[in-house]
Structures are given as C-alpha cells and as structure tokens.
Structure 1
Amino acid sequence: MFDFKEIISVTLILFSVIDILGSIPIIINLRKKVGHIQSEKATITAGVLMVLFLVLGKSILNLFGISVEDFAIAGALIIFALGAEMILGIEIFKPDPSASATSTSIVPIAFPLIAGAGTLTTILTLKSEYTQANIAIGIVLNLVIVYAVLKSTNWLERKLGQTGLDVLRRIFGIILLSIAIKIFKSNVFAG
C-alpha cells in the first residue's frame, strides 16, 4: 500500500506547486499589514482543505456545477492579482482594519496561497496516478515544510533585509504572474 517512491514523487510535485519558498515575500508583506500570521491556523486550514479535496474534490465541485478548469481559472486570477501587487507595489487586497491575524492566516495564506487552485487541481490529478494514502503522506510532509517556513519568516526577513525583500518580491511577483498565466491558458483551452 505505502510506496516510498510514490510518496517522494507526490511530495516533490506538491512542493513545487505549493511553492512555499516563493511565497515568502507575500507572507512577509501580509504579516506587515496585519502584524502577525498564525502559522498553526494557516497550516491546519490548508491541510484540511487539501485532505478534503483529496477525498471529496470532484464531488464538491460537481455539487456547485463547477469544473476543475473553472476552479483553476478563478485561482489563476487571484494569483495574478497577488503577483501584480508585488511587482507594481500597489494594494489590490486592502487590509481590513477589523481583520484579525486569524482571518489573514486563512485567506489569502491558507487559501489560495498554500492550498490554492493549483494545489487542489494537482491533488485531483495525482489521484489518477498514485494511491490516496501515498498522496495523503505527501500532503502531510509538505505541511511540515509549510509550517517551518511560516514560523521562520521573521528570521528570513531579518537575514534578507528590506532591499533583499524588495528584489525577492518583484522576482516572485513575475513568477506568480507567469504561473497564473500558465494556469489560465491551460484551463481556458482545456474545456
């Protein structure tokens, strides 16, 4: 049932899609807006979403009459907006003065940053090739990495400095825009 090779494959695929290292500038930027990110809540919420999608993903989308492609396109638009915000230095997602660290930890960090359309559609795709148990282990391994990165953002910010963060934010903003365009194109023409 458990296959080490499958677990490693799933873990690496999800790691590249989640791209938590690439999200560091976004997370630091969001933390500056709200003061604190609740790493535990963000990680647990993202984990629940991923496992829920692993077990019930297609059924949930079908319930609302949404195709996987529609879901991916919506996620691509959010990722595009986050990328544009990073590159242009504008605020598309205005901080809500009444928003707590809890709500920011869930939206946009847990969803769509960690457990976004790309991650959730990847989980659905992996089900056709790997066993559900091995995918679940790959999800848990990625959540450990996500938690470690979320917990170390203060340290990373001190090490990188403001100039390093500005450069990283713009570089990863371009990468996010590219990912958004790729997800958008592949799903607009898939249906």
Structure 2
Amino acid sequence: MHDLLQHGLTVFLGFFAIMNPLPNTVAFVGLTAHQQQAQRMKTASKALMLSFVIICAFAILGKSIFHLFGISLAALRITGGIIVFIIGYQMLKGSGNTLHQGEDLQAEDVSISPLAVPLLAGPGTIATAMNYSASAGWGEIILTIAMFGVLCVTTFFSFVYGQSIIQKIGDNGLNIITRLMGLILAVIGCQMLIQGVLDVVAQYQHHLS
C-alpha cells in the first residue's frame, strides 16, 4: 500500500510539473478569448478528454508498443529523460515550453490542436506516462491513469476560471511558479536519464556474465 501511495504521489507530481496547468491556462485563455463561457467549457472538456484518452492508450499499451518496435525500457527512460529535462530547462530559463507551444490562433478547433496535442498530451507527458507504467503491474498502471485523471479535472477548473486566476496571480507569480515547475521537471528528467543508463549498464553486465 505504501509503495502504491508513493507511486501515485510521484506520478501526480511528475504529470503536474510537465503539464504545468497555470502557464497552460494562459495559453487556453488566449486561444479562447473570442469564445463565450459556455463554449470555453466545451473546448476545455473536449481537449482534456482527448488528452486523457491519449495518455490512457500509451499507459496501457506501453509494453505492447515496446515489443512491437523492439524498444527497451532503458531507451525510453533515456529519451524521455532528455525530453523532460529540455522542457524543464526551458521553463527554468523562463523561455516557456517550446515543445508544448505552437498555438495557432486561427485554428478551427483549438481543442484538438494545439490544446490536446501537443499542449496537454505532448511528448514529455506521453514519455512520463509510459515510463511510470511500462515496467509496472496493473495496479500502478491504473494509479497512473487515475492521477492523470485527477490532474485533468484540476486543469479543467483552471481553464474555466483562467481569467480570474491569472489576474490574481499576476505575471510575477506566474513566472515564479513556471520556474519552480521547470526545476522539478529538470530533476525528474535527470532521474529518468540516470535510471536508463543504470539499466543499460546492468543489461551489459548481465550479458557479459
């Protein structure tokens, strides 16, 4: 039980840092500035539901994807760690998350792109979901999905009440939160990278013995 609770907390913090709801809320408010409140709620719901489905698919099918393409967990951890570190480093510098940006204000349906992909279910989020579920049992996989679901609900309210939240926090508060989330992401990325390298070393030693 303690391991599951620790896994759940780690997963939630990882997802929270990489999705970073507050800066994403700024993007959402800008993309939906021309919409009425009812339409904003619909856009937010559609974007988050699509993101949830994408992350569920990668969390559940992670092992099958590995076998299909001959990918090892170590390779995912190394690659995912690099991606997550780059995202965190960019946020730490205050330059924003370029892997999660690319908003097209003229897009016909912003709930699909850029909100769902790549703003919410971007490469870092997918790599994080697969990393936490690929080598785990069904309990950890379900918990990973549940934690992402909780974050989606939290993000929904952040989106819906985005304008009020941004006004209360202000630019300085938003910059501080973004940098803190960037630091957490950079550390998570380093940990994933270190674990991946250790896995490769262990596999090499096992092969020699």
TM-score tier by shorter-chain length is: 0.7 to 0.9
Q: Tell me the CA shift for residue 41 of structure 1.
A: 3.5
Unmatched segments (≥5 aa) in structure 2 = 33-39, 201-209
Please, which of 64, 73, 80 is the counterpart of residue 59 of structure 1? 64
Count of aligned pairs: 183
Give the aligned residue type for 1:182. Answer: Q
Unmatched segments (≥5 aa) in structure 1 = none
Please, which of 13, 16, 34 is the counterpart of residue 13 of structure 2? 16
Report the equivalent of 1:175: 184
Please, which of 46, 67, 82 is the counterpart of residue 51 of structure 2? 46
Q: Tell me the CA shift for residue 99 of structure 1.
A: 7.3
User: 1 or 2, which has the higher helix percentage?
Assistant: 2
Q: Tell me the CA shift for residue 59 of structure 1.
A: 0.7
- Bigger-Rg structure (1/2): 2
Residues in 1 aligned to 2:131 and 2:198: alpha-carbon distance in whole angstroms: 16
Q: Tell me the CA shift for residue 176 of structure 1.
A: 1.6
Identity of aligned residues (%): 21
Matched, 1:121 2:131: yes
Contact 1:82–1:173 at 8 Å: present in 2 too? yes
Residues in 2 aligned to 1:95 and 1:133: alpha-carbon distance in whole angstroms: 31
Superposition TM-score, scaled by structure 2 size: 0.67
Residues in 2 aligned to 1:150 and 1:120: alpha-carbon distance in whole angstroms: 26
Superposition TM-score, scaled by structure 1 size: 0.72
What RMSD in Å do the two structures reach over aligned CA positions? 3.4
Contact 1:53–1:124 at 8 Å: present in 2 too? no
Report the equivalent of 1:81: 86
Give the aligned residue type for 2:126. Answer: G
Give the aligned residue type for 2:118. Answer: V
Q: Tell me the CA shift for residue 146 of structure 1.
A: 3.9
Report the equivalent of 2:206: none
Give the aligned residue type for 2:119. Answer: P
